[in-house]
A and B are shown apart, each in its own frame.
Chain A
Amino acid sequence: MSSLLIERPLPHGGRLVERVIEDKRVARKIWKSCNAVYEIKPTLHYETGVPVRNVYREIMSICYGFFSPVEGSMKQAEVERVLKERRLLNEWIFPYPLIFDISKDDLNKLGVEVGDRLGLTLKGKPFAILDIEEIYEIDPEELAYKTFGDPETNPEVVQQKFDKKHPGWVIYRSHQPYVLAGKYTIINPPKLKPPFDRFWFPPRKSREEFEKRGWRTVINHQTRNVPHVGHEFLMKCAAFTGDVEPCHGILVNAVIGVKRRGDYPDEAIVEAHEAVNKYGYIKPERHLVSIVLWDMRYGNPLESLLHGIIRQNMGCTHHMFGRDHAAVGEYYDKFATQILWTKGIPSFGFPAPPTDVPYGLKIRPQNMREFSYCPTCKEMAYSETCGHKREKLSGSFLRGMVAEGVQPPSIIMRPEVYKVVVKWWKHFGYPFCNEKYVINKEKELEVDLEDL
C-alpha cells in the first residue's frame, strides 16, 4: 500500500468505549442490584425554566462511544483538568466537563453514597446505571465561566466575557450543584424514533458502514442546519481533499438536541440533508446522513475539538471546519476554530494543533471559507478562488425568505430540500423551532424505551 494513502484512524483514546448491555436477562439482574432509582429530568434554564439540556443525550453519546474515551460522569479532579488543560486524567484531550448533576434535595432523597449503584430511568422506564465513584459539589456559575474561557485568560481567541445570551454558558450555569461521578452503562437501549432511526450510526456501526461501502477516506460535514446550495458545494469541494484521490465518502453528522428559537426542526434538518443524496445532488453512494445526540454548547474552537473527537470515533479521516464554526455571537474570534487546528491555542492547553500534541487527534482538519453565488461565473463560487463580486448566501436571509412564504430560487436552495422544510412546517405548524417545539421535543425526546 502506498505510503501516501491515509488509513481510517483508531478511535480517540485507542479503543471505542461501548457500555451498552443488549441482553435483557443480564440487564434485569443489574437493574435489581441498584441501590436507588432516579428519573432523568431535563436541565431547565436557571432563570426562565425552559429546557436547555437533557443529560440522557450525554449518556447515549458516551455509552455508544461517540465521546470515547470518556466513560461516564467526570470526577472533580478530571473536571478541573479539563477546564485547565482540556485533557482527561488519562491524558487524552477533551474539551468540556461532562457531569451528572443533581439538586441537594434529590441527593438527600436518594441517600446514595460512593460505591452505590444508581438506576436511571427515562420516560419512566429503566434506561441506564451510574456506578458512583465520587460525590462532590460545584458552583455552576464558576463552571460556566471556566468552561468557555474569558478575554483575560484566553486572549488569543476570546473577545468577550460570556453571559446569559450564550446558550452553552446557560447550560452550565443551569447545572444543579451536586455531581455524582462514575461510569454509565445503558441497560435498556432506547429505540430511536422516526425519522431519526434511519440516521442512527453510532461509531461501531458507522465504521462498519464505511467498510461496507469501501470508504477508506471520509470527510465529515458538521450541521445544525437545513442545507442550502452553499453547504452542498462546501461538501462537494471539501471532499476533493483526501490522499491520492478525493475522499471516498462525505458523512453529514447532524447534532440533535435542544434547539435555539429560529433554528430548523431536527426532523427537517436530517431529511433535508437526505434529500441532497436522494435526488442526486451528491450520489447516495458517496454521501451518508447521520446524527449524534448532544445539546450544543456553541463553544467554537472547543466545540470543534469535540466534533473532531466524535467524527474520528465514527471513523472519519477528515473534518471540514468553516468560519464561525459552532459559534453564537461574537464571543470568539471568527476564525478561532481554524486557529486551533492550524496553530493551536496555548491558553486552552494547545501550544500546537490538536493533531500535533501528545494524546491528540488523528482526524485531519479541512479549513474552508465560504461559497456564494457569482453572477459573472453564473455558479456557486469559492470565496478564495473567484475574483468577481459575489452574492453572499446567508442562512438568516434564507430563513426570512422561507418565513415570508417565498420559495428560494433553486440556485440557493434545492426544491426538494424546500419541500422537506414545508413538509415539517405543515406537521408542526411552523417552519422553525419555537417555544412549543422545544418544550414538546424535550417531553417526547428522540427515543422511546421498552419495558425491561
Chain B
Amino acid sequence: MAYFMVVLLDDSRMEKIKGTGLEEHIKYMFGGELRLLEVEVNEDLKNKILAEFETARVDSRGAITDVPVAFMRELFNQVVEKKSLGPEVVEGVLAKVGEIKEMAAKESEYLPPPEIEV
C-alpha cells in the first residue's frame, strides 16, 4: 500500500508555495472546494510516525492522519524548504521530532479555536 500525508492549502499557504514548482502538483478535491498537496511516505517512515505519535492512524485511503498540529505545520515548512513532495520531507519533519513533541504536549491541552460566530 502507498502511504501519504495531506497538506491543506489555504490562501496564505498558496502564497508561500508560489514559484517552488509545486503548484502543478496541487490537487483539488470535493468539486474544487479543497486544495491540497500529497506528500509521499514510505513503509519505514510510516512505521516511524506511528511509533513516535500514539494518536497517529492510517485511514482507509492510506493517508496518515491524527498527528499533532505541530507535525502538520512543520510538514508544510519542510515542503516549502525542500520544494519537494518526496520522502525527504517527512524525514526532515522527523529530524525535529523532539521539538514537535514538546509543542504537541502543549497543544494537547489547548488549541486556539477559529474566530467564527457560533
Contact = CB atoms under 8 A, between A and B. Distances in A.
B66 interface: yes
A419 B116 contact: yes
Given A373-B29, A378-B31, A409-B30, A400 B113 contact: no
A375 interface: yes
A425 interface: yes
A429 B111 contact: yes
Contacts of A411: 30-31, 33
Interface in A390-413: 391-392, 394-397, 399-401, 403-412
Counting chain A residues whose Cβ lies within 8 A of the other chain, the interface size class is 35 or more
A407 B30 contact: no
A408 B118 CA distance: 16
A383 to B, nearest CB: 11
Contact of B66 (A399, A408, A419, A429): A399
Nearest to A329: B57
B72 A392 contact: no
Contact of B61 (A375, A392, A430): A392
A378 B118 CA distance: 29
Interface-centre pick from A391, A400, A420 (highest chain B CB count, 10 A):
A400
Main secondary structure of the interface of B (DSSP, over half): loop
B114 interface: yes
A435 interface: yes
A410 B33 CA distance: 9
Contact of A430 (B30, B63, B110, B114): B110
B109 interface: yes
Contacts of B67: 400
Contact of B63 (A261, A397, A435): A397
A406 B118 CA distance: 15
A104 interface: no
A109 interface: no
A426 B57 contact: no
Contact of A396 (B29, B63, B114): B63
Nearest to A334: B60
Contacts of A419: 116-118
A404 B111 CA distance: 9
A394 B113 contact: no
A412 B6 CA distance: 16
Given A396-B63, A429-B109, 5 more contacts: A394-B59, A406-B8, A408-B34, A411-B31, A426-B118
Interface of B: 6, 8, 10, 29-31, 33-34, 55, 57, 59-61, 63, 65-67, 69, 72, 108-114, 116-118
9 contacts: A373-B30, A375-B30, A392-B60, A394-B59, A396-B59, A397-B6, A400-B66, A405-B113, A407-B114
